[in-house]
Amino acid sequence: MNQFLFDHQLAAMKADRSGTAEERTEAAEQLGARAERIAGWRKANGLSNRGWPRDERPAVRRDG
């Protein structure tokens, strides 16, 4: 999953910074396809498609 998210972020940067219209179009298409896969994964795992999942772990105290 980390590699997938890394590739997604890289596609976002390429879409923003690509030189030619063809490169921008290709990067935007890859970005959209990955975004759909991420949304599907989140839905399949009962997560909201907006923002971070709610973290229900107890806070860790750091004394010192």
Residue 15's domain comprises: 2-44
Question: Could you tell me if residue 39 is inside a domain?
Answer: yes
Question: Could you tell me if residue 53 is inside a domain?
Answer: no
Cα 8 to Cα 3, 47, 54, 59, distances in angstroms: 9, 19, 22, 30
Judged against a pLDDT cut of 70, whether residue 52 lies above it is answered with no
Nearest to 27 by CA among 36, 17, 40: 17
Question: Could you tell me if residue 55 is inside a domain?
Answer: no
What pLDDT score does 54 carry?
Answer: 64
Question: Could you tell me if residue 58 is inside a domain?
Answer: no
Judged against a pLDDT cut of 60, whether residue 35 lies above it is answered with yes
Question: Could you tell me if residue 50 is inside a domain?
Answer: no
| Count of the separate structural domains present in the chain | 1
Judged against a pLDDT cut of 80, whether residue 45 lies above it is answered with yes
- What pLDDT, in 10s, does the model give residues 14-23? 777 777 888 8
Mean pLDDT of 16-33: 82
Share of the chain above pLDDT 70, in %: 80
